[in-house]
Amino acid sequence: MSATDTGGRVSRFGSAVAEGWTRERLGLLGAVALVLVAFAPPFQVYLFTDFLVVALFALGFNLLYGYTGLLSFGHGLFYAGGAYGIAIVLRDLTPVVADVVGAGIAPLVTFALGGVVGLALVVALAVPVGWLSVRLEEIYFALITLAFGMLGYSLIIQDPAGLTNGTDGVIVLLGTVDLGGFSLRIGGRRIYYAISAVTVVAAVYGVWRVVNSPFGTVCKAIRESPDRAAALGIDVSHHRWMTFIVSAAVVGIAGVLRAGLASVASPGLTHWSTSAIAVIATVIGGATYFYGPIVGAFIFLYIRWAISRFPALEAYWELFFGALLIAVVLFFKQGAVGGLLLLRDRLFGDGDADDAGSGGGGARDDGGQATAATDDGAESGDDNARADRGDNS
């Protein structure tokens, strides 16, 4: 990349930002917002980090559901896989790593190592589980993934080889990095937020690339009509399997982050009720949109938090979300993102001049959240790869 090329890119970027509500402008705003969040009160930082992790979980799940038409009720298995992977590494390998790289930087190295191990574990699991599961369709796929998830749950509870500590889970202690007088607590709210934000943004970008690649197009083709896809020469099973693995990997990354956030890796992560969170968030957000799961996760977490401010209601948040889920599926399958897009269209007439991409238009996710200082349109690139489903809205 020569200097002039870079210069040219920067100026193109700059003019794009200046031009109006373009992808670039939104991307920049998003990045600024992410940085600003780091300065919010500690609990808000924590809450936002929680949102990022759940958003990634849902996003990974939706790769399989929204894009490929496979509803998994067992994705918690990979969530737990990532969490336990890093938790066990942190618990058992920290001294070893400290011997190798010195006690100062050890916590960070172990954390990174744990993340890699967690991801590897998840992929290793996803290969056989995915291969077996994609043989089945629709309800049966949901059932077998449910079964695998609960199988994982019951195995983790048995504390195999003394690794998982049964029902109580593995405590996660992130440690402090000491570098020449400068010390950083990895588990500190803002540091951990920074780590999570970077990871999640990267992962989201990765998923976005996958979805907008030929690979992603094949997924959608398979979802629309497996038979037609097969007739075109696509190995449907194989492709689903690959998608499954990618989906699991993304969820695994979320799981790794979850461990550090919750400070404990517990078997509940692979229980079907946790897998259900991805389902709820995605459906409410709008499974047919790339950002649907992210918006859904936002709604899930922030409405829960808002409700928790009112003790009388807080106990019944499940009722609220159950009803919302039903309403969305019955009446408004596009979910929240669909609603927001409709709103935008109504308010602003046609879409913006800078539309690029498959008919979705630049998504201006206002979110309508005046109070929360957060921005969920923060991810780079704003195309809603709108994947139309054949059914009625």
Partner 1 sequence: MVTEDSDTENKYKRADAAETSSERRAPVGRRRFLQAAGAGTAVALAGCSGGGGDGGPVTLGAAYILSGFASLYGEEAERGIEFAVSEINDNGGIDGRDVEVLVRDTEASGDTAIQQIRSLVQEDNVDGLFGLDSSGVAQAVAPQISQLQMPFMITHAATPFVTSPQGEHEDSVGNEYVFRDSNSLAQDVYGAARTAQELDATEWATIGPDYAFGYETWDYFQAYCDGLGVEAEFTAEQFPALATSDYTPFISSILDADPDAVLTPLWGADLTTFIGQAESAGWFDQIDHTLFSVGMGTDLPSDGSPLPEGEYASTRYDPFVPDTEANNSFREAYYEEYGSLPTYNAEGAYRALHLYKEAIESAGSTEPDALVDEFTGMEHSGPVGEYQFTETNQATVSSIWGTVTYDEEWESNVLDPVNRYEAGPDVLSDALGDSDLPTGI
Partner 2 sequence: MSLTSLVPLIGIADVVIGLSLGSRLFLIAVGLSLIFGVLGVLNFAHGGFYMLGAYVTLAVVSNVVDNFWVAAVVGALAVGVVGAAIEFSAIRRLYDRVDSDLDQLIVTFGFVLVIHETVRFVWGSGSYSIDPPDVFNFSVTLGGSTFNAYRLVVIGLAVGVLAALWLFITRTYFGSLVRGTSSDREMAAMLGVDVPRLYTGVFFLGSVLAGLGGALSAPLQSTSPALGDQVIIDAFIVVVIGGLGSMSGAFVGAMLIGMMQSLGPQFISAGSIAIPFLAMVIVLLIRPEGLFGGIGE
Interacting span for partner 1 (CB under 8 A) from 42-50, 93-101, 125-133, 341-349? 42-50
The nearest distance, CB 148 to partner 2, in angstroms, is 6
In whole angstroms, give the CA distance from residue 66 to residue 213.
16
- Could you tell me where the beta strands, DSSP code E, fall in 132-181? 170-171, 176-179
Near partner 1 in 241-300, by CB under 8 A = 262-264, 266, 268
Per-position DSSP letters for 187-204, written without gaps between them: TSHHHHHHHHHHHHHHHH
Per rule CB under 8 A, is residue 187 in the interface with partner 1?
Answer: yes
Interacting residue ranges for partner 2, rule: CB under 8 A: 69, 71, 132, 135-136, 138-140, 142-144, 146-148, 150-151, 154-155, 157-159, 272-273, 276, 279, 283, 315-316, 318-319, 321-326, 329-330, 333, 389-392
179 binds, among partner 1, partner 2, none (CB under 5 to 8 A by kind): none
Query: Least distance to partner 1 from the beta carbon of 95, Å?
Result: 12
Helices 76-101, 106-133: axis angle to 10 degrees equals: 150
* Coil, strand or helix at 308: helix
The bridge status of strand 176-179 relative to strand 170-171 is unpaired
**Nearest distance from C-beta of residue 121 to partner 1, angstroms:** 21
Is the CB of residue 96 less than 8 Å from the CB of residue 130? Answer: no
167 binds, among partner 1, partner 2, none (CB under 5 to 8 A by kind): partner 1
CB 66 within 8 A of CB 387: yes
Choosing from 42, 102, 322, 359, the residue that interacts with partner 1 (CB under 8 A) is: 42
Residue 264 contact partner, candidates partner 1, partner 2, none, CB within 5 to 8 A by sort of partner: partner 1
Residue whose CB is less far from partner 2, 106 or 283: 283
In whole angstroms, how close is the CB of 243 to partner 1 at the nearest point?
Answer: 30
Calculate ∠ Cα 330-72-222, nearest 5°.
Answer: 85
The entry of partner 2, partner 1, none near residue 139 (CB within 5 to 8 angstroms by kind) is partner 2
Helices (H), 169-235: 189-211, 214-224, 226-231
3-state helix, strand, coil in the chain (%, to 5): 70, 5, 25
> CB under 8 A: which stretch of 17-25, 65-73, 134-142, 167-175 binds partner 1?
167-175
Q: Considering the rule CB under 8 A, would residue 168 count as an interface residue with partner 1?
A: yes
- Smallest separation (angstroms) from partner 2 to the CB of 140: 5
Distance CA 189, CA 201 (A): 18
Q: Is the Cα dihedral 259, 111, 77, 253 positive or negative?
A: positive
Point out which residues bind partner 1 (CB under 8 A). Answer: 41-43, 46, 157, 166-169, 171, 173, 185, 187, 262-264, 266, 268, 308, 311-315
